[in-house]
Amino acid sequence: MRSDQIKQGIERMPNRALLYGTGVTPAQMSKPFIGVCSSFTDLIPGHIGMRALERKIEWGVCAGGGVPFVFGVPGICDGIAMGHAGMHYSLPSRELIADIVESIVQAHQLDGLVLLTNCDKITPGMLMAVCRLDVPAIVVTAGPMRSGQLHGKRLALVRNTFEAVGLQQAGKMSEAEAAEMECEACPGEGSCQGLYTANTMACLTETMGMSLPGTATALAGSAKKMRLAQLAGERIVGLVREGVTARQIVTKQSLENAIRMDMALGGSTNTTLHIPAIAHDAEVDVTLADFDRLSRVTPQLTLIEPAAETVMEDIEFAGGIPAVMKSLATLLNKDCVTVSGRTVGEIVAKFPPGDTAVIHPLDDPIAAEGGIAVLKGTLAPDGAVVKQGAIAPGMMRFTGTARVFENEDTAMDYLRAGKVVEKDVLIIRNEGPKGGPGMRESLALTAAVAGCGLGDKIAIVTDGRFSGGTRNLSIGHVSPEAADCGPIALVADGDEIAIDLPDRKLDLLVSEEELETRKAVWQKPAPKFTRGWLARYSRQVSSAASGAVLE
Q: What share of the chain is helix, strand, coil (3-state, %, to 5)?
A: 45, 15, 40
pLDDT at 52: 98
Residues of the chain with CATH 3.50.30.80: 375-546
CA angle 100, 257, 315 (to 5 degrees): 90
Cα 360 from Cα 265, distance rounded (Å): 10
pLDDT at 343: 98
pLDDT at 469: 67
> What are the pLDDT digits (tens) for 508-532?
999 999 999 999 999 999 999 999 9
> What are the pLDDT digits (tens) for 252-263?
999 999 999 999
Q: Which fold has domain 375-546?
A: Glucose Oxidase; domain 1 (3.50.30)
CATH 3.40.50.2300 fits 31-146+188-350, yes or no: yes
Going by their DSSP bridges, the two strands 441-442 and 397-405 should be labelled as unpaired
Picking from 504, 433, 497, the residue whose alpha carbon sits closest to that of residue 464 is 433
pLDDT at 488: 98
Burial class (CB in 10 A: 0-12, 13-18, 19+), 378: middle
> What are the pLDDT digits (tens) for 267-304?
989 999 999 999 999 999 999 999 999 999 999 999 98
Read off the pTM. 0.95
pLDDT higher than threshold 70 for residue 231 = yes
pLDDT higher than threshold 80 for residue 22 = yes
Report residue 137 CA to chain centroid gap: 19
**Sign of torsion, CA 441 205 396 469?**
negative
> What are the pLDDT digits (tens) for 124-165?
999 999 999 999 999 999 999 999 999 999 988 877 887 777
Cα 115 from Cα 242, distance rounded (Å): 19
Cite the active site residues.
467
Residues of the chain with CATH 3.40.50.2300: 31-146+188-350
